């Protein structure tokens, strides 16, 4: 809406596998071969979070964002490998698309979905009017280049398109390296048309834009190839920066920038595959692991007149909080019949309160609880910083003070054991366990009609 009413538009710009050390404003810049000037300027207009926590992998983070619930609650705690049709969010789960759509928002998804496929599980079954992108992940673009791959025998990955009312998405181009390289240009064109249509109709919108970078294979489009002189990675960062800037320019052109909540956020820690390895910057760790480099990713939010510009904060925010915060900002109703883990962070982001609404969270790798964070302390139950490290279940949990040991090198500080923090960690774990006794978990691969069992109050 352009008239300053209580229903702001929402643009959520989700970046794939974005390490903490990639962007200039998060210590990247010359270290990574290019300045991300548009993102840096955007950061000065809003709040830049340095302790924003996604989940450990793409699917869990997307599930947590869309439902406001830890991914283990929805059965989406791991990236599915070779999963048949019928996996993902069950019909009972309510997404941001469902809630905002019911509140009168136009909702659309661009880019990968990765939280389900099969009847009843596509974006257009979950409150979104349209979608274009792959069902799963971009490394499937490498399939056709594998000499052992046979498209006549083996699965073929396609870009998919769906509109509200479609029984099934329509298969478009096969996902190849060339399509993967250029797909964000298609996402941009579709998102721009969607935003223009919503503006013309004077309807609030929720555009959930999932950029393909920095997910492998990390390849820049032709207009960015060679732009930095520092290789494909730096060129791809320049592309990411320009693409985000293009959507910001569109909002300004349409006069929507003053009444649009724009969130720029990574979905987990950096790539670890050697050919396209990213960086966690100041921290250590990659996706699919429990290092701090996977528990922090860039996140910046701008909402002129509401979010205080130029703020940098190390207060904790978890990905589930965006569900609750955005629903509240839109004046919509939170689902009252289920456990919601997300906290309303609007009072903190707008400066009404000095502190985040949360001081900790739990983190998993798949179905195994890897640990918990509370303020600047971390409880590690399993030691694994990088996805290439073998996980080691600890007989004695480690308590790490991230202010004095940010790289998590010392399992024990003989001077300060910090064992008193166990009270706070145990409280976080006990709260979760109580919630599970009240409302059961959705098992991975649950049928579409599954409803979690609820214990009598």
Q: Which residues make Cβ contacts (< 8 Å) with residue 324, sequence separation at least 6?
A: 68, 334, 340, 342, 343, 344, 345
Residue 334: both structure tokens together: 């939170």
From residue 342, how far is each of 57, 107, 118, 152, 339 by CA, in Å? 18, 20, 27, 45, 9
Of the listed 25, 58, 107, 299, which one is catalytic? 58
**CB-facing half-sphere around the CA of 454: CA atoms within 13 A:** 7
Query: Is 183 in the active site?
Result: no
413 conformational bin, left if phi > 0, alpha if psi -120 to 50, beta if neither: beta
Distance CA 147, CA 265 (A): 36
Where helices occur in 48-154 by DSSP H, the ranges are: 58-67, 71-74, 96-102
The residue whose two tokens read 């294979």 is 217
Contact status, residue 162 vs residue 169, Cβ threshold 8 Å: yes
The residue whose two tokens read 């400066």 is 351
Residue 219: both structure tokens together: 């390849």
Q: Is 106 helix (H, G, I), strand (E, B) or coil?
A: strand
Q: Which residues make Cβ contacts (< 8 Å) with residue 158, sequence separation at least 6?
A: 134, 171, 172, 173, 174, 175
Of the listed 114, 211, 215, 318, which one is catalytic? 114
Give me the residues paired with residue 161 across strands. Answer: 132, 170
Radius of gyration of the chain (CA): 21
Query: Is 114 in the active site?
Result: yes
Catalytic residues: 58, 114
């Amino acid at each position: 809406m352009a008239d300053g009413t209580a229903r702001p538009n929402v643009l959520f710009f989700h970046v794939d596998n974005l390490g903490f050390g990639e962007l200039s404003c998060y210590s990247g810049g010359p270290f990574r071969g290019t300045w991300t000037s548009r993102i840096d300027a955007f950061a000065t207009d809003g709040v830049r979070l340095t302790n924003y926590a996604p989940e450990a992998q793409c699917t869990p983070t997307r599930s947590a964002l869309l439902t406001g619930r830890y991914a283990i609650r929805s059965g989406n705690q791991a990236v599915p490998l070779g999963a048949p049709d019928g996996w993902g969010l069950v019909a009972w789960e309510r997404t941001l698309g469902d809630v905002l759509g019911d509140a009168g928002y136009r909702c659309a998804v661009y880019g990968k979905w990765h939280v389900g496929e099969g009847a009843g599980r596509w974006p257009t079954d979950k409150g979104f009017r349209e979608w274009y992108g792959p069902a799963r992940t971009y490394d499937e673009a490498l399939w056709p280049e594998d000499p052992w791959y046979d498209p006549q025998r083996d699965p073929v990955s396609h870009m998919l398109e769906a509109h509200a009312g479609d029984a099934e998405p329509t298969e478009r181009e096969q996902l190849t390296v060339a399509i993967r390289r250029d797909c964000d240009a298609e996402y941009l064109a579709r998102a721009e048309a969607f935003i223009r249509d919503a503006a013309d109709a004077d309807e609030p919108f929720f555009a959930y834009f999932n950029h393909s970078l920095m997910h492998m294979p990390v390849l820049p489009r032709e207009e960015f190839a060679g732009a930095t002189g520092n290789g494909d990675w730096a060129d791809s960062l320049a592309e990411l920066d320009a693409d985000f800037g293009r959507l910001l320019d569109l909002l300004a052109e349409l006069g929507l920038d003053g009444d649009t909540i724009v969130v720029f956020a990574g979905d987990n820690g950096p790539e670890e595959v050697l050919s396209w390895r990213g960086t966690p910057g100041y921290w250590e760790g990659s996706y699919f692991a429990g290092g701090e480099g996977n528990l922090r990713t860039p996140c910046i939010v701008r909402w002129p007149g509401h979010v205080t510009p130029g703020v940098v904060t190390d207060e904790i925010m978890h990905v589930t909080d965006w569900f609750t915060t955005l629903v509240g900002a839109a004046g919509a109703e939170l689902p009252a019949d289920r456990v919601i883990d997300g906290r309303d962070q609007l009072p903190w982001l707008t400066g009404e309160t000095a502190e985040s609404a949360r001081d900790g969270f739990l983190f998993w790798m798949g179905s195994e609880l890897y640990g918990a964070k509370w303020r600047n302390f971390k409880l590690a139950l399993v030691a694994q910083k990088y996805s290439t490290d073998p996980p080691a279940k600890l007989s004695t949990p480690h308590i790490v003070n991230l202010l004095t040991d940010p790289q998590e090198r010392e399992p024990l500080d003989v001077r300060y054991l910090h064992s008193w923090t166990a009270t706070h960690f145990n409280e976080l774990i006990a709260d979760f366990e109580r919630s599970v006794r009240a409302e059961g978990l959705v098992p991975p691969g649950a049928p579409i009609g599954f409803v979690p069992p609820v214990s009598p109050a």
